[in-house]
Structure 1
Amino acid sequence: MIDHLRKLQITFLGTSSGVPTRSRNVSALALRLPQRSELWLFDCGEGTQHQFLRSDLRTSQLRRIFITHMHGDHIYGLPGLLASLGLAGNSSGIDLYGPNPLSNYLNGVLKSSSSRISYPFQIHSVEKVAEDNQIVFEDKDFIVRCKPLIHRIPAFAYRVDQKPRPGRFNLEKAKAFNIPPGPVFAKLKLGQQVRLEDGRIINGKDFCGPQKAGKSIVYCTDTIFSKAAIQLAKGADLLIHESTFADKDTDMAFQRKHSTSRMAAQTAKEAGVGKLVLTHLSPRYAPGNAFSPNDLLKEAKEIFPNTLLAKDFMQIDIEKPETVRDT
């Protein structure tokens, strides 16, 4: 099996705030799920489908899209991406999650442009879900939750938790019990109970070691420092947090309801996360200016040392958080 299919994998498709730059597109982040050909997308700024084409990701595998808020640098790429999926004719369906205005926005754009969506398509509002502390989405492998942030318009952070996985399968023990290999082994590895042809009922849990804890990812943008973000990120393996401003521009951060690098790091520290990645960087800190992205990284590391700086097409394998590479 291809190695990336065994683990959760993050690909940054856009890491700039407000407007794109020569090296950074606006917000978009893809999550590749293990053991299935499925992608989830978080935010979809203008040009996101072009970023897909420049990566090793396939839009045909896109199944769910989670929108944090309705500012253009997070949603302007969405109508075009959805229309292209319809023209390609290879989508099995898309579920979208986001603030209340998302439905009116998309339906208006698609209707006005006579765009035909030829695949199953459903929009879910997360505002009441977040208010009532309910689950946004759940299947047999994952749970998605969200919390409201502090921004100029309603905005939400998302947390993806992978459910515990079966422990290591004891192959030698299975052979000692004369259990025939094949499909039976696959079910036992999942901890399921099976009936053999000879009538024996075998419980897979008896042949698996202790369960492995699932991985957890939090995506938090746009917001000023938020206690809700800390609560949502508690104990997460990876926190991806906006870092729009440097500490010297804190007054501007409060005015525009965005985070500084130090605010992101303080959130990571108080939440006790495993790793922090800074994203949503202001173009004012582009390389060559007096203050650079590396300066933002330095500020964050003074508070939370295990911090990385996101850049477009960087990938992180969550199974082994230290594995970071460019595509």
Structure 2
Amino acid sequence: MTLRVTFLGTSGAVPTTERSPSSVFVRREGDSLLFDAGEGTQRQMMRFGVGFDVSDIFVTHAHGDHVLGLPGLVQTWDFNGRDDPLTIHCPQGTASNLDDLVHAVGSTPSFPVHLNEVSAGDVAVEREEYEIRAFEVQHRTRAVGYVLDEFDRKGRFDREHAEELGVPVGPKFSTLHEGEPVELEDGTVVEPEQVVGDPRPGRTVVYTGDTRPVDATVEAAEDADLLIHDATFSDDMTDRARTTGHSTAGEAGEIADWADVRRLALTHISSRYAGDVGMLKDQAESVFSGETFVAHDGYELDVPFPE
């Protein structure tokens, strides 16, 4: 079951020739989800071939480097005759600003655009197999992060044991796997727990947007498979990070360590590190022993199920 993350934009507030402003694309089976839409997001979507069938956009905050891609993206969908509705999720108090961006070219899109304001703890989207909820972050404006959290999967079905118990191959297998008992021809009742293992955890991806290191991220990212965290500055610029509402690479590593995540992606990289991001990775790894990488535009990874 696909859960693929593609980094479309990984720069800080100022883009470089190698990095575009913030945007992360997630494909979860048939669902296409976009987290932030900095300037040029639509071109990055074309460049990296992720497709345009986005149903929901999750905006962390209304700073330009996270939202200025919205007008062009909406206009392109309009030109292409989109009919499907689009929902833009955003922090409380920012919907009117984003609505202005949607209508920035002076016309109303031909497809429905819904603005959904969320606060920390709100479930923005709930599907059959997963939900996306907002959590608290700390930036210089109204901001939230987002958690994509898959629900537990069914336990493994032990076909061999089911056959040993006399369950005939066929529909009764499915009935048991769905959690319902079955009765055999001799009157014996086989219960689901006899042939179905414990529920298996799904996957969790956490995206902070711009933030200082905060306890709420640790809570949201506990045991996550992937944490995408603000790492705008190197550790020698802690004061600058604090003043601007960002994190250093080492601080991102500390959050990942405390949350015991499996993989840490450092993003929102300041243009001052255009020549060398190796130090950022080193600083995060000095406090976090899990897999760490500095994301770059076009970086794509499939998130596996936990063992």
Of 277, 287, 290, 2:265 maps to 277
Give per-residue Cα distances to partners, 1:211-264, cap 9 Å, x unaligned: 211111110121122122222212212111010000111111111111001110
Of 114, 117, 124, 1:125 maps to 117
- Unpaired runs of 5+ in structure 2? none
Distance 2:113 2:162 in 1: 44
Of 66, 79, 89, 1:74 maps to 66
* Greater per-residue helix proportion: 1
- Asked whether the 8 Å contact 2:70–2:101 carries over to 1, the reply is no
Give per-residue Cα distances to partners, 1:94-119, cap 9 Å, x unaligned: 22111234421233234452333233
- Asked whether the 8 Å contact 1:224–1:254 carries over to 2, the reply is yes
Of 319, 322, 325, 2:304 maps to 319
- Asked whether the 8 Å contact 2:99–2:115 carries over to 1, the reply is no
1:325 counterpart residue number: none
Bigger Cα displacement from structure 2, 74-83 vs 43-52: 74-83
Distance 2:4 2:86 in 1: 20
Structure 1 residue 58 and structure 2 residue 43: aligned?
Answer: no
Give per-residue Cα distances to partners, 1:69-99, cap 9 Å, x unaligned: 0100000001221222222224522221112
- Asked whether the 8 Å contact 1:141–1:162 carries over to 2, the reply is yes
- Unpaired runs of 5+ in structure 1? 1-5, 323-327
Work out the percentage of aligned pairs sharing the same amino acid: 34
Alpha-carbon distance change, 271 to 20 in structure 1, aligned in 2, over 3 angstroms: same
Alpha-carbon distance change, 81 to 171 in structure 1, aligned in 2, over 3 angstroms: farther
1:136 counterpart residue number: 124
Q: Residue 281 of structure 2 aligns to a residue in which SS? A: helix
Alpha-carbon distance change, 263 to 222 in structure 1, aligned in 2, over 3 angstroms: same
Distance 2:27 2:73 in 1: 18
Amino acid across the alignment from 2:34: L
TM-score, structure 2 as length reference:
0.87
- Aligned-pair Cα RMSD in Å: 2.8
Q: Residue 144 of structure 1 aligns to a residue in which SS? A: strand
Q: Residue 295 of structure 1 aligns to a residue in which SS? A: helix
Give per-residue Cα distances to partners, 1:165-185, cap 9 Å, x unaligned: 12334455677644447xx97
2:278 counterpart residue number: 294
Q: Residue 123 of structure 2 aligns to a residue in which SS? A: coil
Alpha-carbon distance change, 247 to 108 in structure 1, aligned in 2, over 3 angstroms: same
Q: CA deviation at 1:202?
A: 9.6
2:86 counterpart residue number: 94
Bigger Cα displacement from structure 2, 247-256 vs 95-104: 95-104
Q: Residue 61 of structure 2 aligns to a residue in which SS? A: coil
Give per-residue Cα distances to partners, 1:48-89, cap 9 Å, x unaligned: 1101101131112x1111100010000000122122222222
Task: Count residues with an aligned counterpart.
Answer: 301
Distance 1:88 1:119 in 2: 11
Give per-residue Cα distances to partners, 1:275-316, cap 9 Å, x unaligned: 1110100000111xxxx2111111111111321111111112
Of 9, 15, 18, 2:4 maps to 9
1:3 counterpart residue number: none
1:20 counterpart residue number: 15
Alpha-carbon distance change, 10 to 321 in structure 1, aligned in 2, over 3 angstroms: farther
Q: CA deviation at 1:271?
A: 1.4
Bigger Cα displacement from structure 2, 113-122 vs 292-301: 113-122
Of 271, 293, 296, 1:308 maps to 293
Structure 1 residue 39 and structure 2 residue 32: aligned?
Answer: yes
Distance 2:255 2:216 in 1: 10
2:149 counterpart residue number: 161
Amino acid across the alignment from 1:212: R
Q: Residue 223 of structure 2 aligns to a residue in which SS? A: coil
Distance 1:72 1:319 in 2: 33
Q: What are the within-5 Å matches in structure 2 for residues 223-242 of structure 1?
A: 223-242=211-230
TM-score, structure 1 as length reference:
0.82
Amino acid across the alignment from 1:160: L
Q: CA deviation at 1:141?
A: 0.9
